Amino acid sequence: MTSSSSSPTSLAARKAELALTRCKLPVSRYEDAIVDSVMNNNVTILVGDTGSGKTTQVPQFLYKHRNKILPSSSGGGGKVVFREVITQPRRVAATTVASRVAEEMGTILGEGQVGYAVRFDDKTNINTRIKFCTDGILLREAVLDPTLSRYTIVIIDEEADFLEAAQLTIIQTLLGIEDISMYRNDDDMDGDSRRKRRRRDGDILVFLPGVDNILSLHASLERLLPSIKRLYNSRHYHYSHEDKWHHPLNIRICDLYSSQSRDKQRDAFIPAGKDEVKIILSTNIAETSVTISGVTTVIDTGLAKTRVFDTLRISPISKASAAQRSGRAGRERPGVCYRLYPEVAYDNEMIEHSIPEILRSDMSYVLLQLLAMGVVGGGGEATTHTTTCPNLMDFPFVDKPSPKRIRIASRLLRRIGAIGADIASPTLTAKGRRMAQYPLEPLVSNILVTEEIRTQEGGGDDEGRNCLAEILTLVSMLSTDNIFLSSDTSASSKGDHVCLVELYNTWKTIPSSSVLMWCNKRDISHNALLKAKSIRAQVKDILNNTNTPSATTKKSGCIIDTCGSDWSLLRHAICRGMWTNTYQRIADTTTTTNNSSPTLAGVWYSPIEGGDKAQVSPMSVAFTLPRVEAPEVVVTNEIVTTTRPYMR
């Protein structure tokens, strides 16, 4: 079977099929115009409907005409290697688009001209000429090279809600980067007419708020699958025996969310077989950038999990997102979208456009990286090519966060010792520069860097031990989503942080032949643990290879010790690193919502420095502890709001 699928005849047929598909894409008509615009302008804005082929074809157009573009970029002086970098809004988009472009170009992904780089997964080498990545990866590259001088072309593939379409911003880095906002002119934009939708058999794409909803619906569909197939086959086979779409069929259910392994994500993009219907259960990652062939029906719940500052909550999507979701149906043939919310909710409850992430997210990581790049603050590593903006409030964000958000982020970085005391024009401390080297959220990296500094300065327990081994495991687990596939966790008074480390250590001891069974039995994601293992290795590599001398002892390097079974060392390290997220128990008699509850389910906690109260998450190992064992003080990573605010 393998030899048949890779025979010269089948490869030639596949190549011809890809070429035909590319020719039919609307963007193919504008190849010459796009190349001409890039050659003659610093910045080119390209806008078009979803499915027009912008994301996959434009990088190939530019690579094909690289010899025309290079002279205009290099000014005729010296040999310049043509390289493109294309940002994608999500990891799954970067990996799947890169795979598609590599296939169309007939090259091996990660070995030939096409590669990708996402967080903790880099498939590029010296031969890579077309690189797809997330914006976070490009930001980290800009820390070391603010002008992105190694790239000829930078393409920013973004969701342009204000246009109800998708947009490519193509920048020639060797000509210079200008303010892209001046190029946004609706009058110059050409788009193809939208397709009319009507009902037709095909694959089904369901948009759900989160992974827990996906897994729950998947389990329900699996239970109902025999009945669904009998009902569908009996009706459709009887009505139209000659129509291939109405023959008896198989149903394949696929999940699609960001924390899946690439192999699992790839399943959703494999075309349905003959007499097969594919049902894809997805979060909002399928809204933009990726195309799932064969989808003719979209079912939209109208909900998404959205992070607002440090709180994750389920909320209604915007009208623009609703349009993006409906646009997933009928990309290749007519389709239909079923919206599971009333028209009055669409008209009165949904905002027109999604709020840009930078306006609703914690700004501390962004500010830390900007300070490390030297483009804001009172000093840093800025080069002569970078304009330093001393006052944080004056930095020209495309979507400018509110001064309050910037002040909150600055205050957090100042309190954990990452920046100096100057409020208007801060500078990174030695600790802050060290934190910026790790691809971790500031509070998470603070746990590691604080223990690292203590170790260099002779800290530790009475025997001089540190717990860096456990901290490496913990920060890796905290940087991995959806480890637990259900909320059915055993009660433990050790706390979630210690249990995460214990889980990882136990998982490592399970033989490879039985590890999947072990994970499935406990509703634990094996792929998430594999990701945590990869993150741990990379963070450990940074710890070992870029260790800086202590400010007091001038010694570099530190020994990675383990605390063994003495979890107090780890708990102390967590408190030192995340003390700003400390919550204190409120007296039961006045504030619990369910005083009859024998567990922590009815116990409220409030932040020690004031703010909104919250409860222990149902996903926590402490959730089912007896009320009498409720801890007086807890340290949490974040607040997740569903029916109420929960500490997680």
Are domains 8-71+80-156 and 363-545+559-568 of this chain identical in fold? no
- Please write the tens of the pLDDT for every residue from 589-622: 434 444 556 777 778 999 988 888 888 887 788 8
Q: Of 194-198, 341-345, 348-352, 393-397, which range is least confident?
A: 194-198
pLDDT band at 115 (very low <50, low <70, confident <90, very high): very high
- Please write the tens of the pLDDT for every residue from 270-288: 888 877 889 999 998 888 7
The CATH label, of 1.20.120.1080, 1.10.10.10, 1.10.10.60, 1.10.357.10, for the domain at 363-545+559-568 is 1.20.120.1080
Q: Of 184-188, 211-215, 325-329, which range is least confident?
A: 184-188
The string of DSSP codes covering 178-197 is: --GGGG--GGG---PPPPP-
Provide mean pLDDT across the span 295-321. Answer: 84
Q: Is the pLDDT of residue 463 over 50?
A: yes
Q: Of 320-334, 374-388, 471-485, which range is least confident?
A: 374-388
Q: Is the pLDDT of residue 173 over 70?
A: no
pLDDT at 646: 81
Stated pTM of the model? 0.66
Q: Is the pLDDT of residue 299 over 90?
A: yes
Domain locations in the chain as residue ranges: 8-71+80-156, 162-178+201-232+248-355, 363-545+559-568, 575-647
pLDDT higher for 9 or 202?
202
Domain 162-178+201-232+248-355, CATH class in plain words: alpha beta
pLDDT higher for 161 or 510?
510
pLDDT higher for 434 or 212?
434
Return all residues near 574 (Cβ < 8 A) that are at least 6 apart. 447, 474, 497, 635
- CA-to-CA distance for 134 and 89, rounded, in angstroms? 6
- Please write the tens of the pLDDT for every residue from 390-413: 777 778 877 788 888 888 889 999
- β-bridge mates for residue 389, sequence order: 376
The CATH superfamily holding the domain 8-71+80-156 is: P-loop containing nucleotide triphosphate hydrolases (3.40.50.300)
Q: Residue 311, SS3?
A: strand
**What is the radius of gyration, based on Cα positions, of the chain?**
26
- CA-to-CA distance for 617 and 426, rounded, in angstroms? 36
Q: What is the mean pLDDT of the chain?
A: 79
On whether the CB atoms of residues 294 and 222 are closer than 8 A, the answer is no
For the chain, how many residues are written?
A: 648
- β-bridge mates for residue 171, sequence order: 43, 154
Q: What are the C-alpha distances in Å from 639 to residues 56, 137, 300, 607, 608?
A: 38, 26, 26, 11, 15
- CA-to-CA distance for 637 and 442, rounded, in angstroms? 11
pLDDT higher for 628 or 458?
628
Q: Is the pLDDT of residue 415 over 50?
A: yes
